[in-house]
C-alpha cells in the first residue's frame, strides 16, 4: 500500500465498531454543535463550568480506554512497545477532550434553558 486513503480508516473503524461508529460520530457532531451554540450565546467560556467539565472528563478518558479494549482483540496486558502505549495515551486524550466538550456543552445548555443565564 503506497498511499493512504481516508475511506480506508472509515472501513477499518466500521469493521471494529459496527453501528457504534455512527453513534459516536453523531455524538461528536452534536457535542461540537451545542458547544459552539453555547459559546456564541454566552459570548465566551465560563471558567467555573470549564473546570467542572475538566474534572469530569477523566471518566470520558477511562470509558474510551474501556471501549478500545472491548473492540480490539488485544487487552491492556498485551501492550508491548512504546507505540502501543502511545496509542493508548492518544485514545485516552481523545476521550478526555471529547468528554470535556460534551460536558461543558450540556452544562451550558442546562444553564441557558433553566433561565439562570442573563
User: Is 15 inside a domain boundary?
Assistant: yes
What is the longest distance spanned by two Cα atoms in the chain? Answer: 56
pLDDT for res 78: 64
Residue-range definition of the domain harbouring residue 70:
6-114
Checking if the pLDDT of 91 tops 60, the result is yes
pTM of the model: 0.75
- Lowest-confidence segment of 1-10, 72-81, 85-94, 107-116 by average pLDDT: 72-81
Given a contact cutoff of 8 angstroms between Cβ atoms, the answer to whether 83 and 29 are in contact is no
User: Is 63 inside a domain boundary?
Assistant: yes
pLDDT for res 118: 45
Q: Tell me how far CA of residue 61 lies from CA of 8, 36, 90, 92, in angstroms.
A: 25, 22, 10, 5
Checking if the pLDDT of 17 tops 70, the result is yes
Query: Mean pLDDT across the chain, nearest whole number?
Result: 82
User: Is 1 inside a domain boundary?
Assistant: no
Split into its structural domains, the chain has a count of 1
Checking if the pLDDT of 23 tops 50, the result is yes
Report DSSP state, residue 76: G
Checking if the pLDDT of 62 tops 50, the result is yes
Q: Which of 40, 93, 102 is nearest to 68 (CA)?
A: 93
pLDDT for res 77: 63
Amino acid at each position: 500500500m503506497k498511499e493512504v486513503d481516508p475511506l480506508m480508516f472509515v472501513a477499518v473503524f466500521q469493521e471494529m465498531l459496527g453501528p457504534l461508529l455512527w453513534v459516536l460520530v453523531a455524538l461528536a457532531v452534536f457535542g461540537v454543535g451545542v458547544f459552539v451554540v453555547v459559546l456564541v450565546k454566552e459570548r465566551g467560556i465560563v471558567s467555573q463550568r470549564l473546570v467542572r467539565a475538566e474534572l469530569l472528563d477523566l471518566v470520558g478518558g477511562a470509558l474510551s480506554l474501556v471501549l478500545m479494549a472491548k473492540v480490539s482483540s488485544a487487552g491492556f496486558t498485551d501492550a508491548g512497545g512504546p507505540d502501543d502505549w502511545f496509542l493508548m495515551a492518544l485514545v485516552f486524550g481523545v476521550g478526555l477532550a471529547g468528554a470535556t466538550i460534551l460536558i461543558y456543552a450540556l452544562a451550558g445548555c442546562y444553564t441557558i434553558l433553566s433561565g439562570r443565564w442573563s
